[in-house]
Structure 1
């Protein structure tokens, strides 16, 4: 019923669009010799200076002005750099017209009619500049709302920005990075009314000395130019809200302040709320703690030392049962003089999350079905502090320093019930840690001559982590039975002295079983490299690189049991604890040659690596030495300035850290034991990708598509033994290759004030594990298709509608699972008059599986705004989850188990919000 009703609404909107009374003006623009002019601006506006439409000529000089009002008079303005502007009046347009123009040289003569109007779009070299007011209607509140309306731009729910299908690397405000260029903080916090122009910076490299030396063609940044009234003055807003939800008072306090001048920029963001809005997410934490500070090509090898994540767990942040968030951030920069500048930020975040989850999980190999009810509470408290300095005494030398400290205090408690095989088990889990990370980097760039450029990049990380884990398992009605009943050690199943001791781990009989584990990890990682470029001519250069990556880690773990009388039973078996010293070293040298021939840019390269891995544990030292030659190749075919095909191949090697080399058994969670393998080598990955990008400024058609295939040999995979729900696993270099492929395609085009798009995606993967001594291959295929349309009318109702269907097929070697998810969305807003604005968002989700699991749920949110023209005050009445949906679902097809999960979401919140613009 809901689905049919929504389809009727969508159809009505489409019919209303089709019936709109509009006309089109089109034609050709040439110069005095008759040569078509590409990238000329043609604007149509009414006498009150309201923009009717605008266009940009294509390579044939053609332009078109769409969705002009019938029976209206327009002034047409045609402009091109260096040529005299043409002004033409078209009265009482009744039907589609053809208007051709010839542009003459500008002799500095004054136009007969002096009309001043900002160009909606200007293009100069690698920079496209959009005048924001030409595309907005005044209902926008944040930067993300503005960017959504610019041709060729998209902003997703996470705040990631795409321009012509390419992800934006950094966001700048008046040339200065906004919180390390983070797009989400920018799109969700910068006020829309502060945005004057948006500059798209193509072929971006934040180190100007290196621009054009590598493959920067698909790197993009955007620079927000503030309106004149926002410079050299403090601006911002103070937002407060009060309401009711789930029998509790709901609140929000969210002041923001910004200051920009030529020498100083300051951004202050805060947000304190229990409206379920997480101000600083796990993804953002990774962005601020794991970003790459270098500007040059990667080495082709990688090692994840497990530092930086800070123990933060990624829960269903935006739909959890209860979220209370406290967030404060400061970002500033100071241009001390022409040669020296400083920048830094401080971020504080505290998030409390309550979640309730019901899960049905079936384990591969055993067929055991486990049903759990999980109630969890998590507290994430973090602090990130960074100070940086840039010193550039002249255009030939640059010195950069960044120092950062990351602090976390993370804890989580899980209280859940596990039911399977005819009995019930009560389980409590407690996890906590307080990691500390010091992260420093130094980069230097030196231009020795017009043909010789050098770069040095170094980064040093020093981290300490102290995760603590506690599990209490109470098997109701089953007394003195060890809860960790697993078969023999999967790495050595014939060993009669196997440490698992039939699953008892040497535990004393208890009711319940109270198991504790302490870990301590110290990590130091040093990455340094030197690059040299020799510029051979305007179309070619050669790049030589030498570098090293060095990792030292110390890893200690111990497991102990708390007995019923409160005494402590330390598990003393050497293989139930760890004391490991781990060393990793990578020495490498590389050469790359870039050259341009015709429309092709080709960059072949090769990197030679010498790896050394050493671990000392259990009184023995184990060493592994091996070498790898890693080729890479990139070719780019530029069909035209905004259309290209890019093929990239590279072979890389990935390594793991000390936790996976440590031989002693540790707990991963309440039902999973893990032991490392100190014979692991790196996994070799061959990655092939082909991408196509095409953006047509003439009719605002945006096409992008791509396919990526990866084949991993010697992949690090699991060797798992499972009994009941209990797992004991180790890692191996799989003798079978893991493969994956992803593909996507998207087509969008603007039809007057409507932007319509269709998209499709494909994800395929196959992995190999050993489960209960049997090699198993898991395959997963997901394909999705969607269609959407979005309007941008100046007045009245605007809408954003979409439909997507997603199919998932999983074959894990024991069973085949299929799931289908359909999502229908309708977002509409209505500018009722100059003061009132109404916004409504509706989403309907239809979920079903081949195991006869069905779950249909929908969400409805609405808000009514009042903002009197020229007033600094705005009032908002809002309601979330108006339909009071109780739970959502998530289906997971894993290599060890398949599961269907239902988790409780936030109930209906109703609140009054007041905003004051500073």
Structure 2
């Protein structure tokens, strides 16, 4: 089918959007754009009736019913479009509603074509859109790429958290869903396209929700004293957005949007990386802020959490405000959360040595509490046509406690029936407080010469942590007898630690256009970071407490970083190539002593110089096809926890020793990939490869004594590497109604570890397959299914007889069904299998959740729901993994079957309609 789109005078209209729809449901069959003469063409289409729809800026939409003629080609001839002038505003124009339209590089969905049940969230809506994929953790993929930012009417919503809007805004509030490739932060700041992009999702609100308030409140009560409540309220207008969210529950629901593990640890949810580090490649690595695990070292034996493990009581709440006008943009957010967690578990861990192995059985209980205040703001001001200023500030204030009790038994061999070596009982308690603040200012100046730019940034960061750990343990060692210990070691210590980090850093960037296609970028980075750690360990005896001079340390380190470099960039017709070279120096200057008042100090004064080349390719092949690749050399200095010359014996069977002689890790990284998405056919595919090679990689060498006491020290080694391949292919079985997505990946990791001075190479080959099948024929019935298979084949160089395979499988399905009288039924089922034949570990976990609910009240504002969670009562926190020279399995007692009755009230926006006398719009 072909034709020409022209105006009333017969002149062709280039770049007009032409769509071919099915008349019965307006589903999109194909789309395209007219050429420079206004011509269009559709190939390989079925001989059935169609609805042709054409749109062009400044012209009335055109549509025509088309019945293909006999023969290979149906020529529609010249189709005229009328200019949209003021007189035509008094005419009501009706056109077919297309589920999807293309505006430049933006794919725009009409939510009215993808109906969801009343009370559904934006996340429920996105799951129905072709080309969109929602992962189990709520993260979003669009057209095969991860969504980096979600905005509401173009404005930030709770910082850059991609889940805050999708989980909390109602689907009925959205008039359009727009997906496009936005510029990266550096490209926006410098004004030069770097060829990279960030997949961005914008939610455009209906007029009824732009004025007045809307939101949702729900409360539930269940068996086994289960309670939950949740509320969100939003009030938007053209310049202002205000939102509040809150929750409380004891149902292991972490809640609003932040990743559950981050919530438990209390990490900052806002974008700490948005800090003006100009230049290519791993420049951001050296300014890692609050990521060295300082607070973790203060909560010894707390163990990892996660909302799906154990029993959790959660409270959380936050507020977000946006102000947005032409020259001024302001965003601020505050969020508080606290989690009380109870974890009771058993684990089995086997460690392989050169010619032997030992196994640990651990029965433990953990009582953890974490509370965090997090706040942030971003102010962006266009000073004039040439100058702009950005100010960013993020804050985190946290405190927590951990009560850890454990009974551990060590056996020489791979089974618990082997010779008993050690029996230990632990009772550790810790509490900590932490404060972190990050402030950044970025100034940009555009010169009058097009393409010439200057940018400068300055930042000050501080991270302060204090903590106290009480360590109590009894350790009985068996050698000659299995009933009476040969020796007993008791630990009774208090550990007080103060850690303070200050950092000042700055960056400069100058861009000079050499021609219309070539740009020269020159940058300079500076950082001065000071770590001040005071650790005092006291032995508790009957006579009182006495400082342990072997374990106490005062440590102060100054790290100075200087990096300069130049990049030559070529940018033309979608091709963006860059090649650069940087030179950097890291200088470590510090001293340590037993305590802060000790006059005897050991000095550290070392410097490291490296060249850091960088190459990148970004090629826009048009029609939503992208080719990209890069090679870079990155340098990462050791973290403070490994550099501290401190002996950590909180677990006397697993002792950590710091190493101030560590050198930075040098990593060579390369990647190549291809992305493709067809908005007409909804076919998407992407595939790629990654490779990393490490020089002076920081590993943890192990020395295991005769009593199976493991001492680890961070050391440097070269030769570790990783390689991965991945691919994904998705296509509609029935357009807008059923989609199939297939994915496959392979990864190989070569990890090096010194075990009793013998080098062990652990090679792990991982094979992963997966598929997702969605069937959404109408708003009355939907079903989503998925299946994933994972095999990890691990081989050890020190003992090939210990090689093994770990197999994990997962099957899942969710069904929604609308019954008469506004009654809805929902079911979710997952089946997880964990297998390790070598240890006869074979666990199956079927989880079924059911709910039935009815909408009620005026405008269906109310909803009453009865839910059953884990109907089969099979939920357990199961994990297994193989890493280094260790294999482990763990099971944690976790919240299982319960029933809940809940009520939800939807607060709808105030309707504002626009009417003109005598006419309807």
Please confirm whether the aligned pair reaches a TM-score higher than 0.5, indicating the same fold: yes
Report the equivalent of 1:267: 243
Q: Distance in 2 between matches of 1:250 and 1:383?
A: 26
Deviations 1:41-83 (A, max 9, x none): 234455xxx6455542379732899999xxxx98654445566
Q: Distance in 2 between matches of 1:97 and 1:118?
A: 29
Q: Distance in 2 between matches of 1:395 and 1:589?
A: 29
Paired residues for 1:92-107 under 5 Å: 101-102=76-77, 104-107=79-82
Secondary structure in structure 2 of the residue aligned to 1:229: helix
Residues 316 and 39 (structure 1), Cα distance of their counterparts in 2 relative to 1, 3 Å cut: farther
Deviations 1:730-770 (A, max 9, x none): 12211x31101122111000122110011101221112121
Deviations 1:579-607 (A, max 9, x none): 11101111111111111356532111111
Give how far 1:526 is off: 2.0
Q: Does 1:873 align with 2:856?
A: no
Give how far 1:89 is off: 4.4
Q: Distance in 1 between matches of 2:72 and 2:654?
A: 72
Report the equivalent of 1:362: 350
Report the equivalent of 1:389: 379
Q: Distance in 1 between matches of 2:435 and 2:345?
A: 31
2:721 to 709, 719, 739: 739
2:392 to 402, 410, 418: 402
Q: Does 1:907 align with 2:900?
A: no
Asked whether the equivalents of residues 429 and 670 of structure 1 are also in contact (C-alpha less than 8 Å), the reply is no
RMSD after superposition: 3.2
Residues 442 and 669 (structure 1), Cα distance of their counterparts in 2 relative to 1, 3 Å cut: farther
Asked whether the equivalents of residues 321 and 907 of structure 1 are also in contact (C-alpha less than 8 Å), the reply is no
Secondary structure in structure 2 of the residue aligned to 1:466: strand
Q: Does 1:780 align with 2:745?
A: no
Q: Distance in 2 between matches of 1:873 and 1:97?
A: 56
Residues 709 and 208 (structure 1), Cα distance of their counterparts in 2 relative to 1, 3 Å cut: closer
Q: Distance in 1 between matches of 2:862 and 2:193?
A: 50
Report the equivalent of 1:643: 625
Which has the higher mean CA deviation after the structures are superposed, 591-600 or 700-709? 591-600
Paired residues for 1:140-289 under 5 Å: 141-205=120-184, 209-210=188-189, 213-244=192-223, 248-279=224-255, 280=258, 281-283=260-262, 285-286=266-267, 288=269
Report the equivalent of 1:469: 469
Asked whether the equivalents of residues 336 and 374 of structure 2 are also in contact (C-alpha less than 8 Å), the reply is yes
Paired residues for 1:435-834 under 5 Å: 435-449=434-448, 450-475=450-475, 512-563=490-541, 565=542, 567-573=544-550, 576-596=551-571, 600-618=575-593, 619-667=601-649, 669=651, 671-723=653-705, 724-734=707-717, 736-752=718-734, 753-813=737-797, 814=799, 815-833=802-820
- Structure 1 unaligned residues grouped into runs of 5+: 1-26, 486-502
Give how far 1:710 is off: 0.2
Report the equivalent of 1:291: 272
Which has the higher mean CA deviation after the structures are superposed, 110-119 or 705-714? 110-119
Asked whether the equivalents of residues 840 and 860 of structure 1 are also in contact (C-alpha less than 8 Å), the reply is yes
Asked whether the equivalents of residues 471 and 516 of structure 1 are also in contact (C-alpha less than 8 Å), the reply is yes
Asked whether the equivalents of residues 606 and 629 of structure 1 are also in contact (C-alpha less than 8 Å), the reply is yes
Q: Distance in 2 between matches of 1:62 and 1:471?
A: 74
Q: Does 1:62 align with 2:47?
A: no
Residues 45 and 226 (structure 1), Cα distance of their counterparts in 2 relative to 1, 3 Å cut: farther
Asked whether the equivalents of residues 63 and 95 of structure 2 are also in contact (C-alpha less than 8 Å), the reply is no
Q: How many residues align?
A: 849
Give how far 1:578 is off: 1.4
Deviations 1:851-883 (A, max 9, x none): 121111110011112114822111111111111
Asked whether the equivalents of residues 83 and 104 of structure 1 are also in contact (C-alpha less than 8 Å), the reply is no
Q: Distance in 2 between matches of 1:596 and 1:306?
A: 34
Asked whether the equivalents of residues 17 and 54 of structure 2 are also in contact (C-alpha less than 8 Å), the reply is no
Deviations 1:702-741 (A, max 9, x none): 001111000011111122212345321212211x311011
Residues 260 and 84 (structure 1), Cα distance of their counterparts in 2 relative to 1, 3 Å cut: closer
- Structure 2 unaligned residues grouped into runs of 5+: 35-39, 412-419, 594-600, 908-921
TM-score normalised according to structure 1 size: 0.86
Q: Distance in 1 between matches of 2:114 and 2:190?
A: 31
Residues 102 and 136 (structure 1), Cα distance of their counterparts in 2 relative to 1, 3 Å cut: farther
Report the equivalent of 1:431: 430
Q: Distance in 1 between matches of 2:163 and 2:189?
A: 27
Q: Distance in 2 between matches of 1:743 and 1:871?
A: 49
1:414 to 404, 411, 428: 404
Asked whether the equivalents of residues 63 and 698 of structure 1 are also in contact (C-alpha less than 8 Å), the reply is no
Paired residues for 1:347-358 under 5 Å: 347-358=335-346
Deviations 1:600-634 (A, max 9, x none): 32111111112211121241212112311100101
Secondary structure in structure 1 of the residue aligned to 2:641: helix
Q: Distance in 1 between matches of 2:343 and 2:78?
A: 66
Asked whether the equivalents of residues 530 and 546 of structure 1 are also in contact (C-alpha less than 8 Å), the reply is yes
Which has the higher mean CA deviation after the structures are superposed, 455-464 or 117-126? 117-126
- Higher relative contact order by CA 8 Å / sep ≥ 6: 1 or 2? 2
Residues 773 and 314 (structure 1), Cα distance of their counterparts in 2 relative to 1, 3 Å cut: closer
Deviations 1:356-414 (A, max 9, x none): 22111112215111111122111110001223322222232111212232111111122
Secondary structure in structure 2 of the residue aligned to 1:184: helix
Report the equivalent of 1:490: none
Paired residues for 1:275-354 under 5 Å: 275-279=251-255, 280=258, 281-283=260-262, 285-286=266-267, 288=269, 291-294=272-275, 296-298=278-280, 300-301=282-283, 302-303=285-286, 307=290, 311=296, 315-335=304-324, 339-354=327-342
